[in-house]
Amino acid sequence: MLLILTLLLAFANGANDVSKGIATLVGSGVSSYRAAVIWGSCCTVLGALLSALMSRGLVETFSGKGLLVQQISTPSFLLAVACGAIGWLIIATWTGLPVSTTHALVGALIGAAGVSGVQWSAIATKVAIPLAASPLIALGLLFVLTPLLRPMNVCVCVEQSSAVVADGMSLREMSSVVVAPEVTCSNVVARVGAIDAMHWLSAGATSFFRGLNDTPKIVALGIASSASMFPLAAVAMGLGSLLAGLRVTRTLASKVTPMTPANGFAANIVTSLLVGLASRFALPVSTTHVSSGAIIGIGISQKSGLRWKTVGEMGLAWIVTLPVSGLIAAGVFAMLR
């Protein structure tokens, strides 16, 4: 039963979190939803597989070591934690809200252990501070990086226009090739941006590092450090991304702010850098918070187009993640006990 719930958590994580690496590809018009989801899923699986070698320190953190007064590894406790995280992720994914698996797991751990069973100082230093600081750091880095990429914001555009010709009264469509800054292209039929290839790579890197950072947290609920859990979790995350990853991707791609390939690329670079460093040093940051902070930074830097209603809904979802997942875990643990 615990194995099944662990894989279900991995599936739910893939469904909600694949958007964090690929939303900028879709939102900036570089890719279709289908191609972006496939690309993000493949890179996520690769990162999840490699996490067995590179990010095992996070397994200890999310098995409760150092966070709880007394480490608990009974099946009923782990089942309750899994149910708390899964329950909230399913609700958030169904409504298209990008939320943090990391945050949900912490809330579920606290809910199942009880207020007196938690080392609150460790929660603050190991979890709360990285989770709170990461979106602000992402936003700040985006402001630094975006101006540096402006010289690369050039594309080759094939434009189409209509003109009256001397052949009777007919209209003929004429095409022209323009090499210009991206924002000056109008009536575009096709475009090849100098930054597009790097945007694909940065989206893949974000998805890779997300898999690297999230998989150990999920495996901690299964057979703790069993090596066989990593490939199973990787497959489950990939399936969740492919089969149920569109809802949240649509939110981040089209409902937060308009974006161009250049600033979408910058957002992915920032997310990849922060999540990759966090994985290296076993810091449980949230890819959701980092990626969303970078995308919100796009809207702020453009000084227009940021949809504050969507941002407010996302912020509310982040606030209720911990108590809701904690209450579900506490209820399940009470019933099992």
Return per-residue pLDDT of the chain as tens, 337 residues: 788 888 999 999 999 999 999 999 999 888 999 999 999 999 999 999 988 787 656 676 676 667 788 877 788 998 999 999 999 999 999 999 999 998 899 999 999 999 899 999 888 887 788 778 888 899 889 888 887 776 655 555 555 555 545 555 544 444 444 444 554 454 444 455 567 888 999 999 999 999 988 888 888 876 544 667 889 999 999 999 999 999 999 999 999 999 888 888 999 999 999 998 887 777 777 889 999 999 999 988 887 689 999 999 999 999 999 999 999 999 999 999 8
Say if 59 falls within a structural domain: yes
Q: For 183, which DSSP code?
A: G
Max CA pair span of the chain: 88
Say if 182 falls within a structural domain: no
**What angle (nearest 5°) sits at the alpha carbon of residue 38, between those of residues 188 and 285?**
105
Say if 180 falls within a structural domain: no
Helices (H), the chain: 2-17, 19-27, 33-54, 57-62, 75-94, 101-113, 120-123, 129-149, 196-219, 229-244, 246-254, 261-280, 287-302, 308-336
Residue 150, class by beta-carbon neighbours within 10 Å (0-12 exposed, 13-18 middle, 19+ buried)?
exposed
Say if 100 falls within a structural domain: yes
Say if 15 falls within a structural domain: yes
Say if 185 falls within a structural domain: no
Which tokens in the block code for residue 159? 């434009």
Say if 168 falls within a structural domain: no
Handedness of CA 290, 295, 296, 300 (dihedral sign): positive
Global pTM? 0.83
Number of domains, the chain: 1
Separation between Cα atoms, residue 209 and residue 211, nearest integer Å: 5
Write phi, then psi, for 170 (nearest 5 degrees).
-75, 160
Say if 267 falls within a structural domain: yes
Domain carrying residue 118: 2-153+195-336
Q: How far is CA 297 from CA 7, 37, 113, in A?
A: 34, 23, 36
